[in-house]
Amino acid sequence: CGVFGIHSHPQAGAITALGLHALQHRGQEACGIVSHDGDRFHLEHTLGLVGDHFSSEAIIGKLKGPQAIGHVRYATTGDTTIRNVQPLYADFEFGGFALAHNGNLTNAHTLRRQLVRRGCLFQSTTDTETIVHLMAIARGGSPVDRLIEAVRQVEGAFSLVALTPNEVIGVRDPLGVRPLVLGKLGDTYIVTSETCALDIVGADYVRDVEPGEMVVLNEQGVQSLRPFQPQGRRFCIFEYIYFARPDSVMEGSSVYNARQRIGAELARESGIEADVVVPVPDSGVPAALGYATQSGVPFELGIIRNHYVGRTFIEPTDQIRHLGVKLKHNANRAMIEGKRVVLVDDSIVRGTTSKKIVEMVRAAGAKEVHMRISSPPTSHPCFYGIDTPEQSKLLAHRMSVEEMRDFIQADSLAFISLDGLYRAMGAERRDPQKLTFCDACFTGDYPIALTDALDHPPVE
Ligand code: 5GP
Ligand code: SF4
Ligand code: MG
């Protein structure tokens, strides 16, 4: 998911819509904006894309007032119904409160059961609603105090943006798994998931919100609070590999440059004689450029992507996913026929994409097809906000690299090593003095307790 919040700007609603448009890659199922005009809240939620709904003056005109928050959603918990669309909204003694969440709570079911026993009536099936109920029963008075009390009880990954009658609040979980940045547009502060959402409205990037930090944007500017004990940092390494937009800067590093360095490292580790390097667009492009530069094998757009189809994995059913892949890519025969082709993609999840692409490239006359992947094998599900399927559906959980090569019918298959990935990031795996990341989907080393999963262990 993606979040955006802005305080004190006469066009807060319109700016939030633009910000969400830039974050569209983080979720295409639904979106919403809540604004406050000093007196009342205004809510606008919809299923589907930002541009399809938040483009008319009639809709934007309804989002009155100088502060607003917004959300783009792809479901990691809860189904796709309008009542699960965020920002969530609730009435408190202090007035209204709206909340938007990127991430995934790992003890939400456990807390929910306790809350239901205490009489709380849940209205959605999202994990995020747990935070609202924890606020409702909190002892503190002010919205900030209540939110602090609530987030201290939840476990998991969360970058939150909240709106109260007087302030916009941003919070990042203690390990900073999901991104959150602070920006400035004139005298106005913005808090959002990625810097590309600042660029689109002409705002300057100020800094990342720190892991475990809460920022309160109000009339006085920005106030920084520390509701949690410092615990180190475990930013999601998969944001660099795939999820974030390549023009964003995360934790001080360009996502695009990181992908190129990962591609170069991949070429150093498992380069092979070939005639052409072809990315699986769009996600494989920067890594393929890095691979081509490092190996000296020419880069060509040997696969063309149809841009009017969204990210296939976000479509919910297997049937549509199969269809989506065919709709999305076509081989560019002129660049492939008679050639030894190195294909570069960011990840193999179920293996559907790679299998189709290899088949397509062979059908277009490739002499050899070598697959190179700019992440280690995805062998474990993510419980922190990226929608990977259950473990049994992960190709790398079921198969060795050689079995996967055979499954996708490639002449060779190689993944970047975990060490190579860290090298490319200029980081050290578990050195507290250096940058370190969450890499659980590649290692099974989960940095945050999986309370719900242990409560209801998944069937293997
Ligand atoms: P597959 O077809 O192997 O299930 O999915 C791999 C493709 O989906 C890659 O091209 C990759 O860009 C994209 N993808 C990246 N991350 C994810 C993810 O977290 N989940 C899923 N299902 N697909 C992803
Ligand atoms: Fe990111 Fe993987 Fe960790 Fe999930 S498990 S937060 S995708 S690194
Ligand atoms: Mg892809």
Checking if the pLDDT of 322 tops 70, the result is no
Q: What is the mean pLDDT of residues 145-159?
A: 97
Cis amide leading into 282 (omega within 30): yes
3-state secondary structure of 287: helix
User: How far apart are alpha carbons 218 and 398 in whole angstroms?
Assistant: 51
State pLDDT tens for residues 395-433.
999 999 999 999 999 999 999 999 999 999 999 887 777
CA of 417 to the centre of ligand 3 (A): 19
State both tokens at 285: 């492009």
Q: What is the pLDDT of residue 453?
A: 84
- Whether ligand 2 lies within 6 angstroms of the CB of 346 is answered as no
> What pLDDT band is residue 313 in, cutting at 50, 70 and 90?
low
Structural domain spans, the chain: 2-233, 254-433
CA of 207 to the centre of ligand 2 (A): 22
Q: Count Cβ atoms below 10 Å from residue 333 Cβ, excluding itself.
A: 13
* Whether 263 contacts 255, CB under 8 Å: no
Q: Poorest-confidence range of 40-49, 77-86, 300-309?
A: 77-86
State pLDDT tens for residues 161-206.
999 999 999 999 999 999 999 999 999 999 999 999 999 999 999 9
pTM of the model: 0.94
Mean model confidence pLDDT for the chain: 93
Task: Work out the percent of the chain whose per-residue pLDDT is above 70.
Answer: 94
Q: What is the mean pLDDT of residues 52-63?
A: 95
Which residues 6+ apart lie within 8 Å of 137 measured at CB? Answer: 115, 118, 120
3-state helix, strand, coil in the chain (%, to 5): 35, 25, 40
Q: What is the mean pLDDT of residues 92-103?
A: 95
Checking if the pLDDT of 112 tops 60, the result is yes
Q: What is the pLDDT of residue 460?
A: 35
3-state secondary structure of 94: coil
CA of 147 to the centre of ligand 2 (A): 25
The CATH number of 2-233, from 1.10.10.10, 3.60.20.10, 3.30.365.10, 3.90.245.10, is 3.60.20.10
ipTM of the complex as predicted: 0.94
Q: Poorest-confidence range of 26-35, 132-141, 192-201, 344-353?
A: 132-141
Q: Which residues are catalytic?
A: 1
406 CA to centre of own chain? 31
Torsion angle defined by CA atoms of residues 104, 20, 309 and 383, in that order, rounded to the nearest 10 degrees: -10
The CATH number of 254-433, from 3.30.70.920, 3.40.50.2020, 3.40.1480.10, 3.40.449.10, is 3.40.50.2020
- Whether ligand 1 lies within 6 angstroms of the CB of 335 is answered as no
- Whether ligand 1 lies within 6 angstroms of the CB of 215 is answered as no
User: Which residue is closest in CA terms to ligand 2's atom 3?
Assistant: 438
